[in-house]
Structure 1
Amino acid sequence: MNLGILTLRISLPGCASLKEKRQRMRGMHQRYGRNPAVAVCESADRDRLETSEWTFVVVKPTAPEVESLCNEIEDKVQRTVDGRVMETTREML
């Protein structure tokens, strides 16, 4: 099995409250956590209004499959989240 860790730091300009932040980031667990090959969590900046950091752990039989799923997650986050991905970190184990 191959394991990949994808961490995305997302900027949420103009976010005025934690409630608004939760609304803008809502569905991250539902969208990505349904896949049995993916674990997802908000890994940092939980109390900061204008940023959010999310980490995805991807497990697949081959490294290309892990890389492909990480690419898919990153692309989908960029399209669906009301914010901007500012930093992406990937680690393959």
Structure 2
Amino acid sequence: MLATLTIHLHLPACASLKEKRGRIKPLISRLHREFNVSVAEMDSQDKWQETVITCAMVNSDAVTLQQSLQSVAKWVEANWEDGQIIDEKIEII
């Protein structure tokens, strides 16, 4: 099974794409390192104050996938201080 966590983020203080990437890159690296998930910026790459990142995991157990990605989402909510979370969604395929 494959599961994805899509997080739509708002970065109100960013004034350029370079600044946005500088704030998103450490988040992506940290999520990959801490939770062993694949992470990429998937949408809104050309917008200064908005981005969509997606985390992906593969496992044979849907419950494990759901719990793991919920942990990732909770970590982002608690630890990411560069903006606000607009939306998040977990999908299991």
TM-score by length of 2: 0.84
- What are the ranges of 5 or more consecutive residues in structure 1 without an aligned counterpart? none
Distance (Å, rounded) in 2 between the aligned partners of 1:53 and 1:28: 12
Partner of 2:22: 23
The percentage of aligned residue pairs carrying the same residue is 29
Displacement of 1:28 in angstroms is 2.8
TM-score by length of 1: 0.84
**Does the 8 Å contact 1:7/1:53 carry over to 2?**
yes
**Does the 8 Å contact 1:7/1:90 carry over to 2?**
yes
| Structure in which a larger fraction of residues adopt helix | 2
Q: Which amino acid in structure 2 is aligned with residue 79 of structure 1?
A: A
Distance (Å, rounded) in 2 between the aligned partners of 1:50 and 1:67: 29
Counterpart secondary structure, 1:27: helix
- What are the ranges of 5 or more consecutive residues in structure 2 without an aligned counterpart? none
Aligned-residue CA RMSD (Å): 1.8
Query: CA offsets per residue over residues 3-30 of structure 1, 9 Å max, x none?
Result: 2111110011131112221222232332
